[in-house]
């Protein structure tokens, strides 16, 4: 399946790809493992995913053409 990737803050410094073609992954837990393998720096920091603008608190299915945002801790204000 194809997903669109959005990276923010310090994560955007090492995850610069905008698209991902992956097979055998169907949920956010699987995607996290995949991303942490591919980008080892990610496993060293706190981050959250948002799938189609929904912030993920627990594991969730990902469907083809989803937009997944990878977000480090917020620091607005």
| Contact (Cβ atoms closer than 8 angstroms) between residue 3 and residue 69 | no
Q: Which is nearer to another protein, 26 or 54 (CB)?
A: 54
Angle at 63 (CA atoms; ends 40, 43), nearest 5 degrees: 15
Q: Which is nearer to another protein, 18 or 74 (CB)?
A: 74
CA 12 to chain centre: 11
- Chain positions contacting another protein, by CB under 8 A: 6, 8-10, 50, 53, 55, 69, 71-77
Taking the complex as a whole, how short is the minimal distance between the CB of residue 13 and another protein, in angstroms? 9
- Residue 68 neighbours by CB distance under 10 Å: 19
Q: Which is nearer to another protein, 43 or 67 (CB)?
A: 67
């Amino acid at each position: 399946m194809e997903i669109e990737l959005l990276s923010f803050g310090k994560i955007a410094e090492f995850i610069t790809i905008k698209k991902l073609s992956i097979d055998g992954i169907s949920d956010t837990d699987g995607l996290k493992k995949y991303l942490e393998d591919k980008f080892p720096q990610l496993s060293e920091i706190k981050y959250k995913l948002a799938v189609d603008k929904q912030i993920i608190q627990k594991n969730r299915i990902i469907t083809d053409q989803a937009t997944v945002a990878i977000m480090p801790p917020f620091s607005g204000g």
